[in-house]
Amino acid sequence: MYRTVGEILDELDMQVLGRLLNNCRESDRQVGRELGISGGAVRSRVKKMQEAGVIERFALRVEPPMLGRGLFYIVVTGRDPDEILRQARFVGEPYLVAPCVGGVTVCGIVAEDDVQERIELAKNLMRDVRVLSIFEAGGPEIDPGLTRTDLAIMGELVEDPRRKIEDVARAAGLSTKTVARSIEKLHRSDSVYFTLVYDPTKMGAFIPFAVMAWAQDARAALPGLEAVFSDHFLQAPFIAKNHVVLFMYGGDVFQLDDLTQRARDVPGVGSADLFIPKSILFPPGWIRSVIEDAGRSPTLRLSNRIARVPAQPG
């Protein structure tokens, strides 16, 4: 019987995918060196996954506090994801939209001003929707130290974060040295990710899923979770206030259920919920808006909550 490309993905494909999810600017040769295969073999596997629709596009993901914005998450059930997204736009720009198996949708919302006010507004707007959870992705205030040059380069990378340094330099009117230095600075940040968007429904025998673990001290619980689940990670976990979100993959739903239960048993974890996404979107529109607004401002003012950063020459 004929099998689609997505149905014949193997463990090595998943490892390649994982490397690119965590840093899609890594060259084929670098990825191959880490996995013990040639750069050509990596390139062939990436092409296969693109043709199969597993890899939809490469993406620049930025944590909103890096650009002076707040972020909160809404987990709802029982409504069409498009309708949820339509209502969410009255509150702020979408950061993440992930419809999941079982009618649950996880939606991250970028807030330009007071996050708690936006959360209350979201609760009022979604009275006819069953809200399972709504919480701020809190964390320490960030002084990103971004310059106008950094923002210009981010703007060039929004559509294609794998663009060559020479092409970015030409488009931005900067030197290759300046571009390389800025990209390295962004890469070192814990809030900027050169990643990709994938289609969970086209990964054949592999089931991507997320476990959202709640802990009183999420950062203290993270090492224990990493020690138990690192072999199953599809991409690096992230912390959203009292939640640790683990992105993993497994072979069947029973393994997924077992892994979720094991997450609940990790010291410091109070509860853990399983989400199996049907799609994962990171709309880039809010990033473009912030960069455009900063470009019109005489000072590089990214937030009311973050000190003004003087404009600096590239």
Helix and strand element counts for the chain (H, E): 11, 10
End-to-end Cα spacing for the chain: 58
Q: Where are the chain's structural domains?
A: 5-52, 69-136, 200-275
How far apart are the C-alpha atoms of 42 and 13, rounded to whole Å? 9
Residue 202's alpha-carbon distances to 3, 88, 308, in angstroms, are: 12, 28, 45
Q: Rg for the chain (alpha carbons), in Å?
A: 20
Residue 41 in this model has a pLDDT that exceeds 90: yes
**Are 69-136 and 200-275 in the same CATH fold?**
yes
Provide the pLDDT confidence category of residue 113 given band limits of 50, 70 and 90: confident
How far apart are the C-alpha atoms of 291 and 300, rounded to whole Å? 10
Contact status, residue 4 vs residue 48, Cβ threshold 8 Å: no
Contact status, residue 45 vs residue 16, Cβ threshold 8 Å: yes
pLDDT of amino acid 84: 79
How far apart are the C-alpha atoms of 93 and 108, rounded to whole Å? 9
Q: Give 207: exposed, middle or buried? Use CB within 10 Å, 0-12, 13-18, 19+.
A: middle
Share of the chain above pLDDT 70, in %: 90
CATH topology of domain 5-52: Arc Repressor Mutant, subunit A (1.10.10)
Which stretch, 34-38, 75-79, 286-290, has highest mean pLDDT?
Answer: 34-38
Provide the pLDDT confidence category of residue 314 given band limits of 50, 70 and 90: very low
- pLDDT (average), residues 41-60: 96
Q: Name the average pLDDT for the chain.
A: 87
pLDDT of amino acid 13: 96
Residue 313 in this model has a pLDDT that exceeds 50: no
Ranges of H-type helices in 114-249: 115-125, 148-157, 165-172, 176-188, 218-229
Residue 196 in this model has a pLDDT that exceeds 90: yes
pLDDT of amino acid 242: 87
Provide the pLDDT confidence category of residue 254 given band limits of 50, 70 and 90: very high
Residue found by looking up tokens 């709640």 in the block: 214
Q: What is the total residue count of the chain?
A: 314
Provide the pLDDT confidence category of residue 25 given band limits of 50, 70 and 90: very high
pLDDT of amino acid 153: 95
The model's pTM: 0.86
Residue 81's alpha-carbon distances to 45, 74, 104, 106, 140, in angstroms, are: 32, 12, 9, 9, 31
How far apart are the C-alpha atoms of 122 and 285, rounded to whole Å? 20
- CA-CA-CA-CA dihedral for 56, 187, 136, 284, to nearest 10: -40
CATH 3.30.420.40 matches 200-275 = no
Residue 146 in this model has a pLDDT that exceeds 90: no
- CA count, 13 A, side-chain hemisphere, 168: 25
Residue 297 in this model has a pLDDT that exceeds 70: no
Provide the pLDDT confidence category of residue 135 given band limits of 50, 70 and 90: confident
For residue 281, give both structure tokens.
């979107």
Please state which CATH class domain 69-136 belongs to: alpha beta
How far apart are the C-alpha atoms of 272 and 288, rounded to whole Å? 34
pLDDT of amino acid 2: 35
Residue 120 in this model has a pLDDT that exceeds 80: yes
Contact status, residue 24 vs residue 4, Cβ threshold 8 Å: no
pLDDT digits (tens, 9 = 90+) for 198-227: 999 999 889 999 999 999 999 999 999 999
By mean pLDDT, which of 41-50, 69-78, 115-124, 134-143 is the weakest?
A: 134-143
